[in-house]
Amino acid sequence: MRKKIFLIAVILISVFLFLKLGRTSNYTQKTIQKIEKDSIKTIPREKGVVVKEYPSSEVAKVTHKMDSLLKRIHKRYDFHGAVLVAKNGKIVYNNQIGYADFRSKKLLHETSAFQIASVSKQFTAAAIVLLEERGLIQYSDSVAQYYPDFPYKDVTIKHLLTHTSGLPKYFWVAEHKWEEKEPPSNAEMMALLEETETPRFFRAGRNFDYSNTGYFVLASIVEKISGMAYADFVAQNIFEPLGMKNSFVYSYKKDTIRSNQLTGYRLYKGWRHLKIRGTVNDAIVGDKNVYANTEDLYKWNYGLHHGMLLSKESLALMQTRGKTKYGRNVPYGFGFRLDHGKEGRVYHYGKWNGFNTGLIQYPKDDMVIIILEHTSYRSIASLNSKIKRIVDENLES
């Protein structure tokens, strides 16, 4: 009797595994077949800029190897996202793989908008620089000039930009001090900081400490000076001038969800994808909450580096390492992490609510790599290295 029960159990398990593997195989094949092959596009250029044309054989080789890489990480590591690679002013790869929605089985599309998490800080920094260029603020201004009740009187705009402000973590303040049902907006969080006077980590300028709080305060200053919502200011002054049609700022429970807007997921028990819901911190903008697709982020990167938005002097300042009050360099400019090693990367990674993102520029190689993913993939930096190796080995300089 026991042997009979054992055999029945083995048969049932075998049938279950067969069906599961069959579904997985069909799912993977379906997503791979939907990858767009016509991915070689060129962003409109300013006059005088020469775009390098690569032999079609070299581009085809990069495309083949990149497609294979995406298929592999999709199957092995549950990567559901998009990748764009540009070199010498030419997009040589722009593709996506996997699901946009796991319940409806809707596939990712080239217009799918990812939450870019901390890569959003570049837009906040650029908004501040635009205000400075227009003579409306100075980097040496204190936050208290615009918010008189701000309790940290020695903090300047430049401290916020370079993460040397020492401000407390607003995540903690929201989670422990906010008592309303709906998550706080920027204005409400500024008022909460003023009310609670939460102790900070150090006096402004003494150290470098990566701070989401600093960038939400910067976005609040943008709102105060411009008289516009941060989302509207960024849309009118950055997205629209650069033709970023799939980009927007989203504040949880306060804004309408867009049709192409993705949700972040986490993997449950190794096979089920669960949506990650918003939290008390998700209505704050400036440190996160910009949504975009790969092509829009390339338009942003190109426009920023070719004088379409800011002066060359302002861009140089954004990509110059900040300093503490003691003269020590910090690895950050205005919205950019700066690596002055052999490769000299100008980059930023982002991670929030299932979204993992990266925008990496290699100025010496004139190469840009953009990676966007929304199912808690954890190896963006490693993937970036693999992508760069493929391009280096298969495209001439």
Three-class SS of residue 133?
Answer: helix
Return all residues near 2 (Cβ < 8 A) that are at least 6 apart. Answer: none
Strand partners, 354: none
pLDDT at 25 > cutoff 80:
no
State residue 36's pLDDT score: 37
Q: For residue range 94-148, what is the model confidence (pLDDT) as tens digits?
A: 999 999 999 999 999 999 999 999 999 999 999 999 999 999 999 999 999 999 9
Q: Are 89 and 51 in contact (CB under 8 A)?
A: yes
Q: Residue 211 CA to chain centroid, in angstroms?
A: 16
Distance CA 376, CA 356 (A): 6
Residue from 14, 57, 68, 118 carrying the catalytic annotation: 118
Extents of the domains making up the chain:
78-87+109-394
Return all residues near 71 (Cβ < 8 A) that are at least 6 apart. Answer: 28, 32, 97
Cα separation values, 221 from 125, 186, 187, 270, Å:
11, 10, 10, 43
CATH superfamily for domain 78-87+109-394: DD-peptidase/beta-lactamase superfamily (3.40.710.10)
Q: What is the DSSP letter of 157?
A: H
Identity of the amino acid at 250: Y
Overall average pLDDT of the 228-254 stretch:
98
Distance CA 365, CA 127 (A): 28
Three-class SS of residue 63?
Answer: helix
Distance CA 98, CA 171 (A): 31
Q: Are 212 and 171 in contact (CB under 8 A)?
A: yes
How many helices (H) and strands (E) the chain has is answered by 11, 13
Share of the chain above pLDDT 70, in %: 87
pLDDT at 30 > cutoff 90:
no
226 given a catalytic annotation: no
What helix, strand, coil percent values describe the chain, rounded to 5? Answer: 40, 15, 45
Three-class SS of residue 238?
Answer: helix
Residue indicated by tokens 């200011």: 233
Overall average pLDDT of the 341-365 stretch:
95
Distance CA 101, CA 79 (A): 13
Distance CA 103, CA 107 (A): 11
What pTM was estimated for this model as a whole? 0.89
Three-class SS of residue 291?
Answer: strand
Q: Are 218 and 161 in contact (CB under 8 A)?
A: yes
Three-class SS of residue 8?
Answer: helix
Three-class SS of residue 13?
Answer: helix
User: Half-sphere exposure (CA, 13 Å, Cβ side) for 34?
Assistant: 19
Q: For residue range 317-328, what is the model confidence (pLDDT) as tens digits?
A: 999 999 999 999
- Closest among 331, 367, 296 to 123, alpha carbons compared: 296
Share of the chain above pLDDT 90, in %: 83
